[in-house]
Amino acid sequence: MGVGEHVRQIADEPLQQLTCHYASGDLLVSFDRHNTREQYGAPYLQMHRADLHALLVERLRALAPDAIQIDHRLVEVSLSDDATSQGVSLRFENSAGREIERRVPAVIGADGLKSLVRRTLWQVEPPAYSGFVAWRGLAEASQIQAELSEGSKVFAGPGRLFVRYPIRQGRLMNYVAFLKVAEPQGESWSQQGEVTELQALLVGFHSEVAAILAATPEGRCHKWGLYARTPLAQWSRGDVVLLGDAAHPMMPWFGQGAASALEDAVILGRCLQESTSMAEAADRFQRTRLERVSFIHRESQAGGERLTALHPERLRDSAVRNEDSLGLMSYDPVLGPLCA
Ligand SMILES: Cc1cc2nc3c(=O)[nH]c(=O)nc-3n(C[C@H](O)[C@H](O)[C@H](O)COP(=O)(O)OP(=O)(O)OC[C@H]3O[C@@H](n4cnc5c(N)ncnc54)[C@H](O)[C@@H]3O)c2cc1C
C-alpha cells in the first residue's frame, strides 16, 4: 500500500526484549533484536493501534476514496436460500438510527473476535473462559518515576505476568498485565479497570512496575477476560470469507493476532487477484494460511501456563518459545508461495 516509511515513523523499534523475575527484576531471558533487518529484511516494530488504523485509512482513502464508509454497524447478514440467486444481503444501522440495506456479490468478514458474520453463518461453540484476565494500560512516559531499560520487558511471576513496551516514540508506555482469576470476567475492549485494583493485584512486583502503574492517567486502564475459541474448520461459505480474529481468534500470549490478520489480508488480496471467483480465492486463501495460523493458535494457547508458571526462574533454563525462536518472523506474505 506504500505505507512502509510512514509506519516506521509512527512506530517504536525495541532493540531488545528482556524477561525478568517479577519481584527481584533479575534477568531470566534476553532477546537481541539489533539484527532484525539483516535477518528478516524488515524491522521489528511496535505501535499504537489507533495510529496504524489512521495511517491505513488515510492511505486507502487516497487510493480509493469510496472504499470506506464509517458509522455503519452490520446488524444482519444472510445468504440467499435460492440457488439461482447470487450474492449476500447485508443490513446496517448508523448512529442516527437509519437502516441501510445492501446486496453485494461477496463479503469478507473481518469483524473481529465476536464476528457477527461468523455467528450468523457458522455453527460455533460458545467461547470458554481461559482463567486469565488481561489488564491493559497506557502510562505517560514523562510521569514514570523510575529509570527504565530500553526496549520491551516482561516481568514473569507465578500466575501473574506484566509486559511493557514503549509506543509513540517513547512518549507512552503500553502495558498488559495477565492475571490468573478463577471467576469468569467480561470480554470487552472497553471495560474500565481501576488502577488501584491492579496495583493491589500486582503487590510484590518490582518497583519499575509500581512506577509505571502510578503514571497511568484516569481512564487509561481496561480489563478484559480472555476466552478461548475453537478454530473453525472452514473459513468460507459460498461468497463469504472470514479473515483475522473472525476466522481464527487466538489467545494473545504470542502477540500475533493483529500480525496474523494483516498477513491474512495480504494473502487474500493476492488470491483474489489470481482467482476468477470469491469461492476459488477463499479456498486458496485458507489452504495457504491454515497450517501457519493453526501453529500460532496452538502455541498461543499453551503460552499462558508456561509464562505464569510457579517458578519463573525455570524460564532461564528452558527452551524459549516465542516468535523469534519458532521462526515466525521468517515468513513473507508478499512473496511467499500461494497454494495452487
Ligand atoms: C490483551 C490483548 C493483547 C493483544 N496484543 C497483541 C499484540 O501485541 N500483537 C498482535 O499482533 N495482536 C495482539 N492482540 C490480538 C489483536 O488485538 C487481534 O488479533 C486483532 O485486533 C485482530 O484483528 P482483526 O482485524 O481481525 O479484528 P479487530 O481488530 O477486532 O477489528 C474488527 C473490526 O470490526 C469492527 N466490527 C465488529 N463488529 C462489527 C459490526 N457488526 N459492524 C461493523 N463493524 C464491526 C470492529 O469495530 C473493529 O474495528 C492482543 C489481544 C488482546 C486481547
* One domain for residues 154 and 22: yes
* Whole-structure pTM value: 0.93
Please confirm, yes or no, whether 175 is among the known catalytic residues: no
The finding on whether 293 has its CB within 6 A of some atom of ligand 1 is no
User: Grid coordinates representing 203?
Assistant: 503487590
In tens, the pLDDT along 253-298 reads 888 999 999 999 999 999 999 999 999 999 999 999 999 999 999 9
Ligand 1 center to residue 219 CA distance, Å? 20
The one-letter amino acid at 237:
R
CATH number for the domain harbouring residue 145: 3.30.9.30
Residues facing 73 on adjacent strands: 93
Q: Whose CA is nearest to atom 27 of ligand 1?
A: 112
Query: What is the structure's pLDDT at 303?
Result: 83
Same domain, 148 and 22: yes
Whether residue 73 has its Cβ less than 6 Å from ligand 1: yes
Does residue 256 fall inside a structural domain?
Answer: yes
Is the residue at 50 inside a domain? no
320: left (phi over 0), alpha (psi -120 to 50) or beta: beta
pLDDT tens per residue, range 108-160: 999 999 999 999 999 999 999 999 999 999 999 999 998 888 889 999 999 99
Assess contact for 115 and 124: CB atoms under 8 A: no
CB-side neighbour CA atoms (13 Å) of 92: 13
- In a domain? residue 331: yes
Q: How many domains does the chain have?
A: 3
Of the residues 221, 244, 264, which one is the last residue of a structural domain? 221
Q: 167 and 28 in one domain? A: yes
Residue range 166-189, pLDDT digits in tens: 999 999 999 999 999 999 999 988
Domain annotation covers residue 55: no
Query: Could you tell me if 233 and 340 lie in one domain?
Result: yes
* pLDDT tens-digit readout, 209-256: 999 999 999 899 999 999 999 889 999 998 999 999 999 999 998 889
257 Cα nearest atom in ligand 1: 19
> Quick one: pLDDT at residue 325?
84
Per-residue pLDDT reduced to its tens digit, 44-73: 999 999 999 999 999 999 999 999 998 999
Pocket test for ligand 1, best of 113, 153, 189, 328 (most atoms within 8 A of CB): 113
Same domain, 157 and 242: no
Residues 201 and 158 placed together within one structural domain of the fold: yes
Does residue 49 sit within a domain? no
Is 8 inside any structural domain? no
CA-75 nearest atom, ligand 1: 41
| In a shared domain, residues 330 and 260 | yes
- State the residue range of the domain holding 168: 17-32+133-221
Is ligand 1 within 6 A of the CB of residue 224?
yes
Of 223, 235, 163, the closest CA to residue 195 belongs to 223
Of 221, 254, 285, the residue at which a domain comes to its end is 221
Backbone angles phi, psi at 26, to 5 degrees: -60, 140
User: From the candidates 22, 165, 175, 227, which is the catalytic residue?
Assistant: 165
Same domain assignment for residues 147 and 286: no
Does residue 238's CB lie within 6 angstroms of at least one atom of ligand 1?
A: no
Q: What percent of the chain has pLDDT over 70?
A: 99
